[in-house]
Amino acid sequence: MLRALFLENLHPAAREIFAAAGIDVVTRTGAMDEDELIAALDGVQILGIRSKTNVTARVVESAPDLVAIGAFCIGTNQIDLASAAQHGVAVFNAPFSNTRSVVEIAIADIIALTRRLTEFDRSMHDGVWNKSATGAHEIRGRTLGIIGYGNIGTQLSVLAENLGMSVVFYDTAEKLALGNARRMATLDELLETADVVTLHVDGRSGNAGLFGAEQMARMKPGAVLLNLSRGFVVDVDALRANITSGHISGAAIDVFPTEPKKRGDSFESDLRGLPNVILTPHTGGSTEEAQEAIGHFVANKLRDYLSTGSTTLSVNLPNLALEQTSGVGRVAHLHRNTPGVLAAVNQTLAAHGTNIEGQLLATRGDLGYVVTDVSDEVTQEVVDALRAMDQTVRLRVLG
């Protein structure tokens, strides 16, 4: 029986899907450090995590039984994707399932900061009636600047326009503007234009420190800042200084450079206690609806990979969309992408009298993935011969 390890409170839907597929699931709360994870992966074929567990090259190299990793979240920067690929470990994530949840919390944060609801709420809880319109504004007619115009940025763009905001955006890649949104030629141009700046960039290393003192200085006086992307993107010290000085009138921060491993752990940040600052514990995509959708999406991708070899939407392996085998067996051969591999696979099958019913090949960088349906039972001799090929990374035989 295949075994799976689920960490970080994954939605029960994922476990139900695995149980229905006959996969034994072990669940642990919270994240694990490197040594804990290596020990826990002994005899485990599938790992399910969220954003707190780092799957390093050492973890991958120390887990020879590991076949696939499911990142039950958007990002995969917590996983060494190159090492996973070189060891034949497929990685799947959920790039779209919590988009709406992040967009909705962004809209809520924008309204709360622009109306200074956090300060009114604090005064009321302190027993002070502080009715005033000073510093409180409608978002209608104000300009939203979106940095990173991907799945979240584009949907936020549409909803913000529907609320009466003007939208400008900046992205390093060419993106089609939706509605009346306008693309800014430079980041500085966006910062000088926007009343609200919101960050929706990915976890690539080049985005570390993207938003620091220089960028904050270029923001309009009294503008607000949202970071719902990655904790290492914003310089927290610079943000504190700009909030304290009043140059930035408010901020909503959902992600932090260092985050606790599990619920209930203590949280420390220099942003605590600042006026008109909303701090949330990395819950931008954490709605019950989003977590259920993610649980279904990633678990189904993992199940399909294990049963059919399908790598559709894998973030690190060549992508092949596959259904159930049309023959007696299926041979999934992940290999280094060098000339002659396909011919060698077919020659090996022919030499052992194995008839091919269908075959698909895809490549991605230095990796190739060929899946062959055969009309005969795949013998141990065939398996041994294919595994012995110099280019073989991982061979799986599926019934």
**Residues forming the active site:** 230, 259, 282
| Listed residue (301, 302, 366, 373) closest to 332, CA to CA | 373
SS3 384: helix
Tokens of 203: 């976890």
Return d(Cα 135, Cα 137) in angstroms, integer: 6
Are 200 and 229 in contact by the 8 Å Cβ rule? The answer is yes
> 330: helix, coil or strand?
strand
CB atoms within 10 A of CB 327: 17
Residue 26, number of CB atoms within 10 A of its CB = 12
CB 47 within 8 A of CB 28: no
What 3-state class would DSSP assign to 313? coil
Report the alpha-carbon distance of residue 167 to residue 145 in Å, rounded.
6
Q: 356 is written with which tokens?
A: 């091919």
Give the residue carrying structure tokens 């959902």. 254
- Name the maximum alpha-carbon separation found in the chain: 87
Neighbours of 211 (CB within 10 A): 23
Determine the 3-state secondary structure of 297 from DSSP.
helix
Q: How far apart are CA 373 and CA 94, in angstroms?
A: 29
Q: Which phi and psi (to 5°) does residue 205 adopt?
A: -60, -30
